[in-house]
Structures are given as structure tokens and as C-alpha cells.
């Protein structure tokens, strides 16, 4: 059975706290395991979450600030130590190549050749994904080069058993109908895919970290089933958000509303806020966005919502 869920490894911003580790997010999507922004302590958090290095098939770095990247050396060295056999593609902003090289080879270890760098650059969408999971990156607005990511499943079809039976389409003919779009039924009449199936929208997740409000954040989140987005500040510190290239919880809610996202996950919380302010993050985001909102906590497991129909 396929599993699609976000495993939250860390939810702090620049400074970790006793209840919030540095950033880290693991997306389990069927056979894919996408690790976003491994900050310090990622290895330990993965262990606590029951994840292993062999679960990682791709790493996506939004930018090279320490709270989003200082866990990369340990993660790569763990991949090498555990002798992961499959390729692990690593997307990162090309403008930070020197930091990639430093982190990739931060200390001596028995290296591995499964790490495949995929630098992203430019002002438009950067396609990176496999056939069954389309990954694109878009530049955001931060104090250093930063990119957000969008993972999208191609649209498909949902077969209708009663319609298949009506047309006598059974066994291998069902697969042929799905692949080719039509088949000849056993009695000779032509059966089109639309006779026996309904369109099935593909699921989409958007990952938007350190950025001030910008159109690209909305574009990444357009119609996403889940938007994972930074919400560093509350309204009382809104004056800090734009100059530092960050969002408030209210602005994060506004991005979700403008994009038509289905669910919203808030994270990247400033160390200035204690647990008694958690409800304020939810309330201020909800003032802009009327869908389901989760304020992420370390080691949360958040399933993607059921498919829309």
C-alpha cells in the first residue's frame, strides 16, 4: 500500500530550541523519499522518526543558511556509511555551489558515488523530476539565493469496475486500455478510456521556505493539496519579516488563500515564541485562509489529504 505523508524532523528557524530542532522535512511519496532542508540534528531526528538513510531518494535544499543545510554533511556520510545503492539526487541553488562543495566534503569519510548533484538556476521554473513525480523549483525572495519546490503527480484516470464489466473489458485488456486509451472488446466493439474511467487529478505538494511575500511563492502553491511554508513571525513582528526575507503566519495564510491550496502546514518558527503562542500562529493564518491548518511540531506525521474528485 502506498504511503504519502510528511514526516516533520525540525521546525525552528535560525536557533533550535528544546522543543524545536533545526529544519528538516521528509516526504514519503510511494517509492520516493524526499528530504528537504536537513539542518543540524537531522540524523538524530530521522532515527527518532524511524527513518533510515536508505529511505532517502532525493534531497532538496532551498538555500544554504545553516539552519537549512548544516545537517547535509552528516546525512551524506550516513548514506555512504550505510552503503545506499540507489542514486540520491540533490537539488540546490547553483549560486551556492561553493557551499555545496564545502558541505559535500566537509570532513574525511569513505565516499560514495550515488550522490547526484542537480543545481538549479535562473528566474523561471526548473524541471527536475522523474516521470511519475514532477519536481520543479522557482526562485524565492530571501537574503541569499533561495528556491522553493513543487512536487506534482501527473493527472491520471480512475477505472470504474461497473463500466469495465458492461463493456466486457477484463484482465490484460484493462491495462491495455489504460496505457493506449482504447481497446477492442471481445465482441469487437471499440472501447475508449473515457467510457470506463473518470479523470483523476494528480496530487501536489509545495515546499516554500525562507522568503518574503512574492508571486513565485503563490505560483508554487497553486492548487496544491498541501502547502508547507515558513511562518517565522507573528503580526507583532511583521516589521521584521520583509527586511529579513521571511513571512508572518498571516502572510503564509494569504499565500495559501491566493494559491487555492487545500491544506496549510506552518513551520520555521522563530525561537522568540514559546508554546503559549502556538494558538496565535493558527489564528493569524486562519484570518486569511479558511482551509485546514497545521502548526507543525517536531516528529509530527502529516498525511497528504485524500485525493480531490
- Which residue is catalytic, options 67, 210, 225, 298? 67
- Annotated catalytic, 67? yes
Q: Cα-flanking dihedrals φ and ψ of residue 92, to 5°?
A: -160, 160
Computed over every residue of the chain, the mean pLDDT equals: 94
Looking at the DSSP assignment, which residues form a beta bridge with residue 288? none
Residue 221 pLDDT exceeds 90: yes
Spell out the residues 6+ positions from residue 150 whose beta carbon is closer than 8 angstroms to its own: 135, 136, 137, 138, 204, 205, 206, 207, 220, 221, 224
**C-alpha to C-alpha distance for 270 and 36, rounded to whole angstroms:** 19
Residues 161-190 pLDDT 10s:
999 999 999 999 889 988 898 889 999 899
Per the model's pLDDT, the better-predicted residue between 277 and 174 turns out to be 277
pLDDT digits (tens, 9 = 90+) for 118-149: 999 987 777 776 778 889 999 999 999 999 99
CA dihedral (94, 99, 104, 105) positive or negative: positive
**Which is more confident, 48 or 125?**
48
Question: Would you say the C-alpha torsion 209, 75, 152, 224 has a positive or negative sign?
Answer: negative
Residue 54: phi and psi, rounded to 5, are -70, -15
**Which segment of 54-63, 180-189, 212-221, 249-258 scores lowest on mean pLDDT?**
180-189
291 DSSP assignment = S
Distance between CA atoms of 80 and 175, rounded to whole angstroms?
A: 39
**Stretch 289-306: mean pLDDT:** 97
Amino acid at each position: 500500500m502506498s504511503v504519502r505523508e510528511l514526516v516533520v524532523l525540525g521546525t525552528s528557524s535560525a536557533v533550535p530550541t528544546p522543543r524545536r530542532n533545526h529544519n528538516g522535512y521528509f516526504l514519503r511519496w510511494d517509492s520516493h523519499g524526499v528530504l528537504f532542508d536537513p539542518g543540524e540534528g537531522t540524523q538524530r531526528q530521522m532515527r527518532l522518526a524511524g527513518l533510515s538513510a536508505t529511505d532517502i531518494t532525493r534531497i532538496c535544499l532551498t538555500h544554504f543558511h545553516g539552519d537549512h543545510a548544516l545537517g547535509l554533511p552528516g546525512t551524506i556520510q550516513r548514506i555512504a556509511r550505510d552503503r545506499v545503492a540507489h542514486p540520491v539526487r540533490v537539488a540546490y541553488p547553483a549560486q551556492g555551489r561553493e557551499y555545496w562543495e564545502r558541505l559535500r566534503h566537509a570532513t574525511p569519510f569513505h565516499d560514495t558515488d550515488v550522490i547526484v548533484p542537480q543545481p538549479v538556476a535562473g528566474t523561471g521554473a526548473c524541471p527536475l523530476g522523474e516521470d511519475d513525480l514532477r519536481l520543479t523549483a522557482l526562485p524565492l525572495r530571501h537574503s541569499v539565493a533561495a528556491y522553493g519546490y513543487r512536487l506534482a503527480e501527473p493527472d491520471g484516470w480512475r477505472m470504474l469496475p461497473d463500466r469495465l464489466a458492461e463493456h466486457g473489458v477484463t484482465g490484460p485488456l484493462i491495462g491495455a486500455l489504460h496505457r493506449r486509451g482504447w481497446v477492442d472488446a471481445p465482441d469487437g466493439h471499440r472501447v475508449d478510456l473515457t467510457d470506463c474511467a473518470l479523470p483523476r487529478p494528480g496530487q501536489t505538494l509545495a515546499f516554500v521556505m525562507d522568503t518574503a511575500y512574492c508571486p513565485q511563492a503563490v505560483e508554487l502553491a497553486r492548487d496544491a493539496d498541501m502547502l508547507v511554508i515558513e511562518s517565522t513571525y507573528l503580526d507583532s513582528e511583521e516589521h521584521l519579516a520583509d527586511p529579513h526575507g521571511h513571512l508572518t503566519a498571516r502572510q503564509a495564510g494569504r499565500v495559501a488563500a491566493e494559491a487555492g491550496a487545500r491544506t496549510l502546514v506552518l513551520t520555521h518558527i522563530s525561537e522568540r515564541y514559546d508554546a503559549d503562542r502556538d494558538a496565535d500562529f493558527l489564528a493569524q493564518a486562519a484570518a486569511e485562509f479558511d482551509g485546514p491548518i497545521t502548526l507543525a511540531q517536531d516528529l509530527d506525521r502529516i498525511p497528504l489529504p485524500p485525493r480531490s474528485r
